Amino acid sequence: MILPRRSALVLAAAVAASALSACAYNEALGRNQLLLVDNAALSQQSTAAWREAIAKPGVMTTGAQVDRIRRVGDRLVQAAGLGGRTWDYAVFTEASPNAFVLPSGQIGVTTSLLVLVQNDDQLASVIGHEIGHVVANHAAERASNQTVTSVGLAAVGGAAGRYGDAVNAYGGLAAQYGLLLPYSRRDELEADRLGVDYMAGAGFKPSQAVALWRLMAAQRQTQTPQFASTHPSDATRIEALQQYIASRGWN
């Protein structure tokens, strides 16, 4: 839907004003963030999503595998300064090695990832990365950026009149590849760095983060070009991690 020009511009101005007052400094990242999203509401939504996810067949919330990720995860959340909250863990039966985190404090790991990792240090690099996303407020920041981008495109589309559909279509692609995807890749690299910090703080070997990404790269059959991906390439992540670990004097 294309908003009338006046309404679209007024809405864009209102969102811009809100954005200026919603910038917050994240000490862990060393930069300002745009946070328009209510974290309490985000937490409620993610808790509901977690309950729905673990109710599905093939999901384990108890057992040896869950105990393993809990042992590793609890050390990392303490190192990240998040030990004062409850964290839940689950293992999902999936063919793809993966993991995810929800802002309300839940971490999911797939069975394939547990098969892939060669030791607890490599598992810690994954879980530490996910915890890094929470410390970095990446979920709230990404939702805020998407809101501003959507309103901005609506305003431009409304001002373009009968050419609005074309503007919105091309503008959406430009925003995706020029703004939202690069933000996502930045988020992943930030979470990698924070995860390595938590690994070191929890007594795990930071160098095993590099070893893990080499394993991931070796088993990956296809790879989306980096400019069109929400994640950096494996080579980019490995190089960035190597440089960061060396700069901290870790092994």
110-163 pLDDT per residue, tens: 999 999 999 999 999 999 998 998 898 878 788 777 766 555 434 444 444 444
Structural domain count, the chain? 1
Residue closest to 128 by CA, chosen among 22, 182, 59, 208: 208
Higher pLDDT, 164 or 102: 102
**Residue 109 reports pLDDT greater than 60:** yes
Question: Residue 141 phi/psi, 5° resolution?
Answer: -65, -45
Summary mean pLDDT of the chain: 79
**Residue 16 reports pLDDT greater than 60:** no
Residues taking part in catalysis: 130
Higher pLDDT, 220 or 88: 88
**Residue 90 reports pLDDT greater than 80:** yes
Comparing 57-61, 93-97, 156-160, the range with the smallest average pLDDT is 156-160
**Beta-carbon contacts of residue 101 (< 8 Å; ≥ 6 apart):** 107, 108, 130, 131, 133, 134
**Beta-carbon contacts of residue 13 (< 8 Å; ≥ 6 apart):** none
Q: How large a percentage of the chain has pLDDT more than 70?
A: 71
**Residue 35 reports pLDDT greater than 50:** yes
Confidence of residue 203 (pLDDT cuts 50, 70, 90): very high
**Beta-carbon contacts of residue 117 (< 8 Å; ≥ 6 apart):** 123, 126, 212, 215
Q: Which residues form the domain of 230?
A: 5-248
The conformation of residue 3, written as its DSSP 8-state character, comes to: P
Residue 116 amino acid letter: L
Measure the CA–CA gap between 117 and 219, rounded to whole angstroms.
Answer: 12
